[in-house]
Structures are given as C-alpha cells and as structure tokens.
Amino acid sequence: MKEMFLLYFTKGEDVKMNHKTFPSTKFDVKALAMNFLPVAQKAAIASYPWIGKGNKNEADGAGTEAMRNQMNDIDMHGVIVIGEGEMDEAPMLYIGEELGTKQGPHLDIAVDPVEGTTLMAKGQDNALTVIAGAERGSLLHAPDMYMKKIAVGPRAKGCIDLNASLTDNMKAVAKAVGKDVSELTVMIQDRDRHKDLIEEVLSLGARIKLFPDVDIPGGIATAIDEIGVDLLVGTGGAPEGVITATALKCLGGDFQAQLVPQDQEEFERCREMGMTDPLKTLTLDDIVKTDQCFFVATGITDGLLLKGVRKKEKGGILSHSFVCFGGEINSYQFIESFHL
C-alpha cells in the first residue's frame, strides 16, 4: 500500500528575506515534513546495496538521484541552499537548483543524500540520509568549509557560549540539567584537532563519547534524553552545522557556531555568499531565522540515532526514520516503515 500525506498551506502577504521577495505561506510544518519522509526513505534504500562495497561515489549517486526524483513530486517551490556542490560540481541537488511542482510554499532546502559516504563504503555505522527545510530565505547559506560548533538540548538552552572555555560551558550545562560536571557526557569527533578538548573533558572527570565521522546525529542526540548525550563540541563541516541547527531549532535545543576559513580564498567565499563578517559568532537564530522548519533523516547503516536499512527474509525492506517539526509543534517522531 502506498502511503499518502496531504500538504496544506494558505497564501499570505509578501515578506522580504535575504534581499528577495517571496510569497509568504502559512503551511502545516508537520504535514510538509511528512511529505519529505518518503524522499529520505527512498534515498536511503537506493544507497543500501552499496553498503560495504568500497565505492562511495556510486552510493552517493544512487541516493542523490532517488532523492531528487522523489522531491520533484512535492508541492513546493524548493531551492537547494546546501547540497551536492555548485552547479558545475554536481549534476543534481546542486546549490541553487529549484525543485518541486512550483505549487506551494517557498522553501530553503539543505540535503545530504548519503551523510557518511566513507563510513557506508566501509560498512561502518552512522551513515544516514538527511534533509532540512525552512521557509525561503531563512537558512544560512554556509560554504563547504570548517565550522566550530557547540550543541545542547532544551534543558541547557541559553546556557552555552562558544567564546567561553569548554570548562565554563560544561559547568553551565551541568547546572542547567541538574548534574555534577563529572556526570556529563560530551560528544567529540575523534580527530587530532580535538585533542585539547578531549583532555579538558577528561580532566573534569566527565565522560567522552568519540565518533569517527558524521556529527549530525551527535548534535541531535543532545536533545533526546534517552540517548544520554549532554553536549557536542568540536570543529566539523559547516553545511552539516546548518542541518544540525535546523533539527535543534525544531527540538527546542541550542546551537552556536563560527565559520573557520582556512585561507583567504575561503574567507572571500564567505563574503560572496552574503556574510559581511565571516568570523562572527553565529547563534541558532542567525543560522535558522524561522520556527517554520523541519528535519527528516533515514538510517542507511545502524547508528547513534537510527537503525539502518534492513531486508526481511520473506521480502520487503525495513527503514527507520526520524522526523521533527518546528512552528508551534516542537516535537519529534521515530518511524519504522515496511516497503514492498
């Protein structure tokens, strides 16, 4: 049986964002997110045959094509603001590509059809498909470079300061969540550049939870009590930072960041994308300027947040997805689906 989700929206007054005028639409964020659920599912399932096959390009290509084809059926005026690269770098889901039926709300869309291509190619955990969306003109157009990040869940919202020491942030978070500092769990990517952060956490008697790649699940985990992660810190990809920030906006968490250009060329790239001060400390509201946003993910391989795609013995495929919504809803769902 094919599942169908209905999308409702009403026209409103024009609103000016990012120096362009778009028709404002009051849309049902939850219904819209559910329209994107099969997009993530199909991308994950299309990538599944390439798990552990050592060919990340084929896996990424399969997920990208499936995602784009499905997304074009959604009633929206969607524009990719974070995707597979510039138009001359990617044949589809490139930055600036317009998707959808052109009927419906105007949206910014940030995607990664296979987040963790190397992990997937090696048959390792934590590869997933991710999509973030928000009303047009509201997502930061982050260039593909490093970003310094700190993320926490709802109970520690308003307590973090990217410009303070990790020790000060940990003390503030511990107070907010009602724990001793030594009881905190801090997620950090296992990289040499994070050696000092790791040592600082351990010196306070707290726990570290290291991961090899893909920081989006770790950022989201801070907002889900059952996973047991109190904060995520470190330097990773800027596009992933925007996607994580969108999810945390939906979940009521908090996120701060700062772009880290490696040279003058990257610095100028930030300027070209409209950032007058590329080194500015970015708050959650700087990165996601609206509550009308959503996040959808489907696991490809098992991971911190989601189970991977699984084939059933008697036929069919199981997928495991995570969906969260902003607006007046601020909730999330884990969804397990059976596909013929």
pTM of the shown model? 0.90
Q: What is the pLDDT of residue 26?
A: 64
Can you spell out the DSSP letters for 159-191?
---TTS-HHHHHHHHHHHHT--GGG-EEEEE--
Answer yes or no: is 21 a known binding residue. Answer: no
Mean pLDDT confidence for 149-178 = 98
Answer yes or no: is 286 a known binding residue. Answer: no
Q: Under DSSP, is residue 294 helix (H, G, I), strand (E, B) or coil?
A: strand
Give the tens place of pLDDT for each residue, 244-261: 999 999 999 999 999 999
Per-residue DSSP letter, 231: E
Mean pLDDT confidence for 260-283 = 88
295, β-bridge pairs: 132, 324
Q: What is the pLDDT of residue 17?
A: 33
Mean pLDDT confidence for 272-279 = 84
Q: What is the pLDDT of residue 88?
A: 63
Mean pLDDT confidence for 48-74 = 94
Answer yes or no: is 161 a known binding residue. Answer: no
Q: Residue 25: pLDDT above 90?
A: no
Q: Residue 123: pLDDT above 90?
A: yes
Answer yes or no: is 207 a known binding residue. Answer: no
Other CB atoms within 10 Å distance of the CB of residue 265 = 9
Query: Residue 28 — pLDDT band, cuts 50, 70, 90?
Result: confident
Percent of the chain with pLDDT over 70: 91
Answer yes or no: is 84 a known binding residue. Answer: yes
Whether 330 contacts 323, CB under 8 Å: no
Answer yes or no: is 191 a known binding residue. Answer: yes
Answer yes or no: is 68 a known binding residue. Answer: no
Answer yes or no: is 116 a known binding residue. Answer: yes
Q: Which CATH class is domain 146-287?
A: alpha beta
Q: What is the pLDDT of residue 189?
A: 97
CATH code: domain 29-139+293-339 is 3.30.540.10
Answer yes or no: is 213 a known binding residue. Answer: yes
Q: Residue 193: pLDDT above 70?
A: yes
Percent of the chain with pLDDT over 90: 79
Per-residue DSSP letter, 241: H
More confident residue, 305 or 268: 305
Answer yes or no: is 112 a known binding residue. Answer: yes
State phi, psi for 325 to the nearest 5 degrees: -135, 145
Interstrand relation of 293-299 and 128-135 (parallel, antiparallel or unpaired): antiparallel
Q: What is the pLDDT of residue 87?
A: 67
Q: Which residues contact 25 (CB under 8 A, 6 or more apart)?
A: 9, 10, 11, 12, 104, 105, 106, 135
Q: What is the pLDDT of residue 331?
A: 81
**How deeply is 174 buried, as exposed, middle or buried, from its count of CB atoms within 10 A (0-12, 13-18, 19+)?**
buried
Same topology between domain 29-139+293-339 and domain 146-287: no
Whether 168 contacts 161, CB under 8 Å: yes
Q: Where are the domains of the chain?
A: 29-139+293-339, 146-287
Answer yes or no: is 214 a known binding residue. Answer: yes
With both helix axes pointing from N to C terminus, report the angle between 166-177 and 195-203 in degrees, rounded to the nearest 10. 50
Q: What is the pLDDT of residue 285?
A: 97
Answer yes or no: is 272 a known binding residue. Answer: no
